[in-house]
Amino acid sequence: MPTTTIPDDTLIRQIVDTLQTLAGPHPGFRPVHAKGIVCSGTFRPSAQAAGISRAPHFAGAPVPATIRFANSSGNPEVPDGAPGVRSMAVKFLLPGGKSADILANSVEGFVARNPEEFLEFLRSQLPDPKTGKPDPEALPRFLAGHAAAQAFVGRLMKKPIPASYAQAVYHAEHAFRFTAKDGQVSPTSIAVDVSGASVLDKLGLPSYSGFVMPKLEAVREGQAIKDVKISYPQDLAAQMLEYAAATRSLRQ
C-alpha cells in the first residue's frame, strides 16, 4: 500500500477540506453523511445468536439501539432520489453503560485502501481552477490505476437507488471476530437487510431506481376540480426534469 510522510492530523484535515469543497459550504453540518434520520429501536437476538458470540447483545435479552440512516453526501439538501451510497450506523446500548457499534454502507467494501488513497480519489473530482469544472479524465485515470476502487464504483453503479432507507442492504465496513462461549473464534462480515414489502410491491410497480413520486392531475368539469387522477411515472429522469422546469417557473 502507498505510504506518505504527511502527519496524520494534516492528512485528516486535507480529507475534510476536500470533502467540504466537493459538497459546498454547509456550516454546522458534517463533511459527509450530512442528511439523515435518527431512529430508536430494539435489537432482539435470535435463539442461535448466543451460540455464535458471547457478546452481551447476543445473550438473549432485548437491547435498545440508536440507528442513523443517511445519504453519503456532505450536502444536507441532496435530493433523496440522487444516486450514491446510503449508510446505516447502529449503536447498541449495552448494560453497564457500555455500547457496541456497526457502521455500514449500502455497497460492499470501500473505495480506498487507506487515507492517502482516499484523498487522491477525492481530489480527482475537484473542479479545475481554470474551468470551474472537474477534469473529465481525472477520475477515470485514478480508477484505471486502482483496481479495488474501480471495482467499488462498478458495484455502486449496479445498485438501484433504494425507494427508502428501509429498502436497502447495509454492509458493515469492518470485519468482526465473534467469540463463542467455548472460545471458538469466527471472523465475520456483517450485512443487515432492513428491507421488507415496499410500497412498490404493494402497488404492483417495478423499482425504477428512484422514489415513488405519484403524478397528480386534476380532473375538471369546466373550471371545477371534480377528481384527481394519480399515476406513477416509470421514467425518473424525465420526472426530475419536469420538476426542475416547474421550480424554475415558480422562481421567475
Domain annotation covers residue 206: no
Residue 62 exposed, middle or buried by CB count within 10 Å (0-12, 13-18, 19+): exposed
Start-to-end CA span in the chain (Å): 53
Domain annotation covers residue 204: no
Cα angle 98, 100, 105 (rounded to 5 degrees) comes to 155
Q: With beta carbons less than 8 A apart as the criterion, state whether 228 and 216 touch.
A: yes
**Catalytic residue positions?**
33
Handedness of CA 130, 133, 135, 136 (dihedral sign): negative
How does pLDDT run along the chain (252 residues), one tens digit per residue? 445 455 588 999 999 999 999 999 999 999 999 999 999 999 999 888 888 899 999 998 999 999 999 999 999 999 888 889 999 999 999 999 999 999 999 998 899 989 999 999 999 999 988 888 899 999 999 999 999 999 999 999 888 888 889 888 898 888 888 888 888 888 777 777 776 544 445 455 544 444 445 566 778 888 777 776 766 565 555 655 665 565 455 445
142 and 235 together in one domain: no
Q: Please state whether the predicted TM-score (pTM) of the whole model is above 0.75.
A: no
157 and 80 together in one domain: yes
28 and 62 together in one domain: yes
Residue 170 exposed, middle or buried by CB count within 10 Å (0-12, 13-18, 19+): buried
Element (H, E) at 102: strand 99-105
Handedness of CA 54, 60, 66, 72 (dihedral sign): positive
Element (H, E) at 236: helix 236-251
154 and 40 together in one domain: yes
Q: What distance in Å separates the CA atoms of residue 142 and residue 15, rounded to the nearest whole number?
A: 16
Domain annotation covers residue 225: yes
Domain count, the chain: 2
131 and 236 together in one domain: no
Domain around 124? 8-197
